[in-house]
Every structure is written in C-alpha cells, then in structure tokens.
Amino acid sequence: MGEHSAAGEAVVLHGFFRSSASYRVRIALNIKGVRHESVAHHLRRQEQRDPQYLAINPQGLVPALVVGGEVLTQSLAICEYLDEVFPDPPLLPADPLARARVRAAAQVIACDIHPIQNLKILDRLRANGLGDEAVNAWARQTIDEGLDAFAALLPETAGPFCFGDRVTLADICLIPQLANARRFGVSLRWPRIERIEAACLALDAFHRAMPDNQPDAE
C-alpha cells in the first residue's frame, strides 16, 4: 500500500517512544499508510505537562493526533477515526457482533490493564509510600491478570492474529502491552499470545512502530 495523507492535510503525532498508547497509534498509522510527523514529549521529564502541549491536549496525556489543525485524543478513538477515514485495510470486522468482540478484547488492554499500570499511577503509588519492589509487583499482577482475561476472550481460529487472518484493533492493543509486560518482568505463559506477537512483528507496520525504532528512543 502506498502512503497518503488525510485528505492532503498535515498529520502530526504527539507521543513518546515508550508510551504504549502512542505505540498503538503508530501501528495504525503505518497500517493505513498515513504520512505523519512525530513530536516527542518525554513523560519522565513531565514534558506532557508543558503549557504548550496542554494547549493541544488539556489532559496532558499522549498520544494526540493533529489532523489539519484538528486535535484527536485517546488512542482507541484515534485508531477508529483512522479506520473510518482510511477503511482499507479494515481494523474492525464488518459484522456488528464480531466488531463488538474485537472492541471488547482491545478494551481489556486499553481500559482495564494499561490505565492502572501506567506511569502516572505507578508514580502515585510511590508518592503514597510504596517502594519500587511493591510498585513493580502491582504492575506485574495487573498485566498478568489482564492478559489472562484477554487470552480467554480470543476465539478458536486457525488464523495467525487475534481474530483470524486480519490484523484488528485487538492486535494493535496487544503488541504494545506485551512490551510493557516484558519491561515489568511478567512471565509470558500464553503460547497463543506469543504466536500472535510473532505474526504481528513480522509485519513492517508493527516493526517500524516498535519503541526502539523511534527517533526519541533511549
């Protein structure tokens, strides 16, 4: 697929190389072949709280996607926007029931795992007196339990991806979460999930989106 832009408009992704939510949007942009500029905001240096960035996203979170001067926030909303504007290849099935199941799996990660093990929450736990070992244990338990639920929601399929032969929003959420899992020392005890990861990372869109392949990687 050739690259294109959103109706000829400039596309800018505000993110951070290690942010799993930014990673999701990078994958989606690559799958859709959308040319974009990347602007990094270092989360550990609190650059996402700079007034200049808060004028773009008052939540002070990454990612934010600017399309022709319009700001989009929240990674799943951004991915679904991209899917609607650039429908080929689709990230969601055409059938409403199948689409709901893909969204449910994606939201296990985006709503139930990631928000309670991200940097903001871990820093808050430290500020409330938990040591690093306890904080990391919190993250590991959160990820482990969440991936158990995610694996249970996957259908029996011969296809290489979460829901068959096509990459979906569920795969886009899973791969960044597995990077987090490894960072916190979670034992990946789900063979099917590891096979899905290998199939995804064999694709250029996923490989180029990896944290280590970003200009701000450190």
Which pLDDT tens digit goes with each residue over 169-182? 999 999 999 999 99
Query: Taking residues 178-197, what's their average pLDDT?
Result: 97
What amino acid occupies position 182?
R
Q: Which two tokens stand for residue 165?
A: 């032969």
Give the span between the Cα atoms of 18 and 6, in whole angstroms.
Answer: 25
DSSP state, 211? G
How confident is the model at residue 83, as a pLDDT?
98
Give the span between the Cα atoms of 99 and 91, in whole angstroms.
Answer: 9
- The percent of residues above 70 in pLDDT, for the chain, comes to 96
C-beta separation of 91 from 79 below 8 A = yes
How confident is the model at residue 6, as a pLDDT?
57
pLDDT tens digits along 39-82: 999 999 999 999 999 999 999 999 999 999 999 999 999 999 99
pTM assigned to the model: 0.95
- Summary mean pLDDT of the chain: 95
Name which CATH class applies to 96-207.
mainly alpha
How confident is the model at residue 1, as a pLDDT?
43
Query: Taking residues 176-194, what's their average pLDDT?
Result: 97
How confident is the model at residue 8, as a pLDDT?
63
Backbone dihedral angles phi then psi of residue 117, each to the nearest 5 degrees: -130, 15
- The percent of residues above 90 in pLDDT, for the chain, comes to 94
In this predicted structure, the answer to whether residue 94 has a pLDDT above a threshold of 90 is yes
Per-domain residue ranges of the chain: 11-89, 96-207
C-beta separation of 64 from 14 below 8 A = yes
Question: Domain 11-89 adopts which CATH fold?
Answer: Glutaredoxin (3.40.30)
For residue 90, what pLDDT band results from cuts at 50, 70 and 90?
Answer: very high
Give the span between the Cα atoms of 107 and 6, in whole angstroms.
Answer: 26
Q: Which two tokens stand for residue 190?
A: 């789900």
Query: Taking residues 177-193, what's their average pLDDT?
Result: 97
What amino acid occupies position 23?
Y
* Sign (positive or negative) of CA dihedral 119, 123, 124, 125: positive
